[in-house]
Amino acid sequence: MITVSLEIQILFAFLLFLIGLLGLLVRRNIIFMLLSIEVMFNSAGLVFVLASSRWGQTDGEIMFIFILAVAAAEVSVGLALILQMYHHYKTLDADAMNKLKD
Amino acid sequence: MNVIFYIAAIVAILSTIMAISNKNAIHALLYLIVSLLAISIVFFILGAPFIAALEVIIYAGAIMVLFIFVIMMLNIGLEEELEKKWLTPKMWIIPSILAVILLIIFIYALKSFSAQASGHVISPKQVGISLFTTYLIPVEISAILLLAGITGAYHLGKQKKKVIHRFLIKK
């Protein structure tokens, strides 16, 4: 069985979350922003599974299943919104949707 | 076993970095699939075989296929020059500094925390029993959420016909 300390495991999940956050901040292509949100969802679920493995309880894994359901719903609606955005603006630039501003 | 964990973790982090910084959307998705498979290996090593299978089936299987469908529908590829224009190195500086600050704070916080990993294997049977007894109401709520997601995606994905009043049509 694995004997890596829990700190290292949580550090791994946090690194994944940071990479997702970095992608969300840097990219302007809206598909990549959605992709980064997926990475962040996944790392949050990873922490739940780590905790569930640490204490031998099933609750964390069940939370991961719920996170999976939420991610699936979010992605389907988000991709439909991206299709509509591309249909209206003919670009994937997230900054193109600033019509409320001016 | 520890070596496998470290290798899978490094592969996951590197391929996620590649996925985030890639200019081509399809290549980024393929990198992300590699990352998800590596995370699934980590789940398997941690003693969660059911979650590892779900990760491959739902994330790497279903959600990534949704992304690929949308990218194919939008027919991207011509956008690469635009992407090059958007993705200048100086855009990375400030977010990277913020991320590194967060990382330092997190490592500092981890110093005061010590817990030994004690791997428990959780069988799919335990997960299923817990899912349909203790967590029955959340399961039904998530079913309603998925129904709302389907309805919303169908409604938003429809190409609406533009209705213009006959006096407004330019001739």
Q: Is B90 part of any domain?
A: yes
Nearest alpha carbon to residue A92 among B73, B105, B64, B49: B73
Distance in angstroms (rounded) separating the CA atoms of residues B113 and A50: 15
pLDDT tens readout for residues B52-86: 999 999 988 899 999 888 888 887 665 666 666 66
| B48: nearest CB among A10, A53, A59 | A53
CB contact under 8 A, A26 and B92: yes
Question: B14 is in which domain, residue-wise?
Answer: 1-102
Distance in angstroms (rounded) separating the CA atoms of residues B42 and B143: 28
Whether residues B82 and B135 fall in one domain: no
Q: What is the mean pLDDT of chain B?
A: 85
CB contact under 8 A, A84 and B156: yes
Distances (CA, A) of B148 to A69, B25, B151: 12, 28, 5
Based on the structure, what is the number of domains in chain B?
A: 2
Counted across chains A and B, CB pairs separated by less than 8 A come out at 222
Distance in angstroms (rounded) separating the CA atoms of residues B171 and B159: 24
A56: left (phi over 0), alpha (psi -120 to 50) or beta: left
Write down the residue that tokens 């609750």 correspond to.
Answer: A59
Query: Cα distance from A73 to chain B (closest Cα, Å)?
Result: 5
pLDDT at A89 over 90: no
Q: Is A59 part of any domain?
A: yes
pLDDT at residue A87, rounded to an integer: 82
Whether residues B97 and B128 fall in one domain: no
Is residue A64 a contact partner of residue B130, using CB atoms and an 8 Å limit?
A: no
Distance in angstroms (rounded) separating the CA atoms of residues B136 and B139: 5
Is residue A20 a contact partner of residue A37, using CB atoms and an 8 Å limit?
A: yes
Whether residues B79 and B138 fall in one domain: no
Q: Is B113 part of any domain?
A: no
Amino acid identity, position B62: A
Distance in angstroms (rounded) separating the CA atoms of residues B35 and B48: 18
What is the value of ipTM here, to two decimals?
Answer: 0.90
pTM (two decimals): 0.86
Based on the structure, what is the number of domains in chain A?
A: 1
- Average pLDDT, integer, range A37-42: 94
